[in-house]
Amino acid sequence: MFLLSAFVSAAVASQVSAAVVSGKASSFAGSTSTFQFPPADVTATASLIDSFFPDASEVGFAGPTPTGDEAESIATAPALSPVKGYFPLVRPNTSDKKGKAFNVVDSWANLSPMQSVRSFGLDNTTEKIPEGCKLNQVFLLHRHGARYPTSGSSPATFAANVHAAAGNGTFVATGPLEFLNTWTYKLGAEILTPFGREQLFELGIGFRVKYGDLLKNFTGLPVWRTTSEERMVDSALHFAAGFFGVQSYQSSYYQLIEIEQDGFNNTLAPYDQCPNANNNISALGGEATAAWTNVYLVDAQKRLAPFLPGFNLTISDVAAMQTLCPYETVALGYSAFCDLFTEEEWKGFAYGIDLDFWYGDGPGNPAVSAQGIGWVQELVSRLTQTTITTFDTTVNGTLVSSNITFPLNQPIFVDATHDTVISAILPAMNFTSLAAGGPLPLDHIPENHTYKVREISPFASRLVGQVLSCPASDTPTHIRWVLNDGVLPQTGINGCGEDPNGLCQIDTFIAGMKQRIEEVDFDFDCFANYTFSLANDTITNGQFPK
């Protein structure tokens, strides 16, 4: 049957249609503007569908439908096309008019659209399967697509502050900020934007072209996982629609939706079961970013404040305006906030998010590897086809104990998760090259800056594990990992050593992961009452120093 569904209804705020003449006070600037479609109380009805809009199988006349063979461009193509661009988003400029010489989009860190990483230090190495090797299995861990801001975060707060000032009848923005006189806040909260849906659909298509040949090795239907949040389910479904096709994806695989909520173990949302991921330990990232914001945005605050007379424009407000640029762009296609900042201020913005992740969700936080280690346990279980029997991390014992919900012998595994989970899994696996530059300073951008969130967890980020046989056979011999199309060195994993193609013998890799599972003290790092400070404590492995 042809199915349609209505969007969840939302309150519709009044739309502003009048323009504000320059120099005249605005009373509606910053007001919230929303829209819903289909209109309220309108939905597709079964009677109309049955009578007038039958699906394709009922209409017939499909024409020729022979299928071709599966693609495996990851192994067969001479070279692979990198992900570049972000159609249909408009590329912004800077206030110092750098034009094509500087790409603002590359400075949005975790709010950037995924674009291929050239290298993580392995010269001339690509995600293409090395010559003489055969692909046996693939693991995909991906982030959701572009979304609206977190509920109650700085963009919405800034809009509320502007609207409150406008309500006093004295709000007048001039110069480069004049657009604020007619600006309304059009962003929702947390769910995917249309561009975000496009990203995951295209990821599904690209993954099918690269790895589709592995479908021949399935004996049943795939089981792929996501969490229960709206944007997570939406991302997983758009990926599947791209991978299998919109007419067949619902019957081509099983979608396991794991509950993302306090009280439920979930390796794809591990922070809910780690108290130190929700207290002053987790706040270290925010503290680091705040310290840096008071360094790099001082000039911007002084430059912009005169154009908002009567409004106390704080550095926090300026940071919110800068954050509105990527969020409005990935939601609306364009943002007037982007052009307010210089090249150096955009570099500062990216570094601020790098600090937030390093000290809050990455190698510099002592509770991070503990959050990622549950997924590592599941990875070892899948690689060795051995059922997990010890449940002392975020692994969900009910789900992984069943071969229905946690099969061990799939040629293709797909897990959907969040940016902060990918950034936690990487140090849990001990990919040390990302942290090679050491702890990040709070007062300047270091020359040897190796930890860049844009390369780690952008929107639609993907971590791919390629299980290979080298030389080609049906028995896996090696594994390597590709993060956003850049091959990761595995030198931090015990026994793996240096390899020009990023390869590690699979038995050695598994032993290294088992060692990491033993090294990470989940109970202590997540539950212990310890102190950790930005000033005195420096780590690069996401674990409390023992």
Asked whether residue 157 is domain-assigned, the answer is no
Q: How far apart are the first and last CA of the chain?
A: 59
- 332-343 pLDDT, tens per residue? 999 999 999 999
C-alpha–C-alpha distance, residues 254 and 144, integer Å: 18
More confident residue, 349 or 39: 349
- Kindly state the tokens that stand for 458: 């952008």
Instruction: Please answer whether residues 386 and 112 qualify as being in contact, where contact means their C-beta atoms are separated by less than 8 angstroms.
Output: no
Task: Give how far the C-alpha of residue 71 lies from the chain's centroid of Cα atoms, to the nearest Å.
Answer: 26
- 358-383 pLDDT, tens per residue? 999 999 999 999 999 999 999 999 99
The DSSP string of 79-102 is S-------TTSPPP--TT--GGGS
Work out the percent of the chain whose per-residue pLDDT is above 70. Answer: 95
DSSP 176: G
Asked whether residue 227 is domain-assigned, the answer is yes
pLDDT at 73 > cutoff 70:
yes
Output the CA angle 193-199-204, nearest 5 degrees: 135
**Residues 501, 502, 508, 511: what is their CA dihedral angle, to the nearest 10 degrees?**
-160
- Where residue 218 sits, what CATH number does that domain have? 3.40.50.1240
Please give the residue range of the domain that contains residue 234.
Answer: 99-148+192-280+358-527
Three-state DSSP at 417 gives strand
Residue 13, judged by CB atoms within 10 A of its CB (0-12, 13-18, 19+), counts as: middle
- 286-322 pLDDT, tens per residue? 999 999 999 999 999 999 999 999 899 999 999 999 9
Structurally, the chain folds into a number of domains equal to 1
Instruction: Please answer whether residues 503 and 484 qualify as being in contact, where contact means their C-beta atoms are separated by less than 8 angstroms.
Output: no
3-state SS track over 290-317: HHHHHHHCHHHHHHHHHHCCCCCCCHHH
Quote the pLDDT of residue 412: 98
363 preceded by a cis bond (ω within 30 of 0): no
Asked whether residue 230 is domain-assigned, the answer is yes
C-alpha–C-alpha distance, residues 330 and 308, integer Å: 26
Residue 482 forms beta bridges with which residues?
Answer: 464, 487
C-alpha–C-alpha distance, residues 144 and 233, integer Å: 9
Q: Residue 539 contacts by C-beta under 8 Å, 6 or more apart in sequence?
A: 363, 364, 366, 439, 545
Asked whether residue 444 is domain-assigned, the answer is yes
Q: Residue 44 contacts by C-beta under 8 Å, 6 or more apart in sequence?
A: 4, 5, 6
Quote the pLDDT of residue 24: 62
Give the global pTM: 0.93
Output the CA angle 165-168-170, nearest 5 degrees: 80
Asked whether residue 307 is domain-assigned, the answer is no
Q: Which of 7-21, 82-96, 433-447 has the lowest mean pLDDT?
A: 7-21
The CA-atom distances, in angstroms, between 500 and each of 137, 291, 446, 466 are 21, 39, 27, 15
C-alpha–C-alpha distance, residues 482 and 499, integer Å: 14
User: What is the rounded average pLDDT for all residues in the chain?
Assistant: 93
Looking at mean pLDDT, say which of 79-83, 307-311, 410-414 comes out highest: 410-414
Asked whether residue 2 is domain-assigned, the answer is no
DSSP 26: B
Asked whether residue 316 is domain-assigned, the answer is no
Asked whether residue 162 is domain-assigned, the answer is no
Quote the pLDDT of residue 21: 37
Q: Residue 228 contacts by C-beta under 8 Å, 6 or more apart in sequence?
A: 257, 258, 259, 260, 261
Q: Residue 399 contacts by C-beta under 8 Å, 6 or more apart in sequence?
A: 256, 258, 405, 406
- Kindly state the tokens that stand for 153: 């975060």
Quote the pLDDT of residue 26: 67
Work out the percent of the chain whose per-residue pLDDT is above 90. Answer: 85
